[in-house]
Chain A
């Protein structure tokens, strides 16, 4: 079982819609959770971090964490073409482990 699993995508959404990205993790002792965005040919950049159960909102992004279900998600509201990228889920216990990423394409 992989430490961090993401829906493989690609995910295509129309401009203005909500993009929903999912991530599950195997280590119940994981303590912190991150979403990174990576444009093609570029390095990952942090867009959200979440540490406790519930929702955390930052602009058009909302991260949701459910530790009992070992599940973390990212919602992108009012999706824009500039949101087209690969989104990486990362989970930290003693080290940071990444999922394989979900590629999102926002159609104009």
Chain B
């Protein structure tokens, strides 16, 4: 089975702190994604990556950056956390760029910024 692991499940951070959300997948998938999910808004794509050291902006990249130094690891960085970034963050991966490839999600990271 594909496993996407988000190491931090629940975090509480202060406004202005730098926050790292880590994600690791174990199936040698090329594609990795970061979404955030908010009530009534569904899942919104923040950033994605199709290869090591490659990144593309999604629909809501402002206030976020990402890092993909190794194929299996995709990190989301909040340079200076703000209260409007309180949300659930979902990491996902898929095999490659084919449109039919299934996306597998991690368990989610619940971030509260106070």
Contact = CB atoms under 8 A, between A and B. Distances in A.
A92 interface: yes
A46 B104 CA distance: 8
Given A45-B105, A98-B43, 16 more contacts: A42-B108, A43-B106, A43-B107, A46-B102, A46-B103, A49-B102, A88-B43, A90-B103, A92-B99, A92-B100, A94-B99, A96-B45, A97-B45, A98-B35, A98-B44, A100-B40
A4 B42 CA distance: 10
Interface residues on A, range: 20 to 34
Contact of B90 (A34, A43, A92, A93): A43
Contacts of B103: 34, 46, 90, 96
Interface string A38-75: 00001111100101000000000000000000000000
Contacts of B40: 100
Contacts, number: 47
A7 to B, nearest CB: 13
Contact of B107 (A32, A42, A88): A42
14 contacts: A4-B42, A42-B108, A43-B90, A43-B106, A43-B107, A44-B43, A49-B100, A93-B99, A94-B99, A95-B45, A96-B103, A98-B43, A100-B40, A101-B42
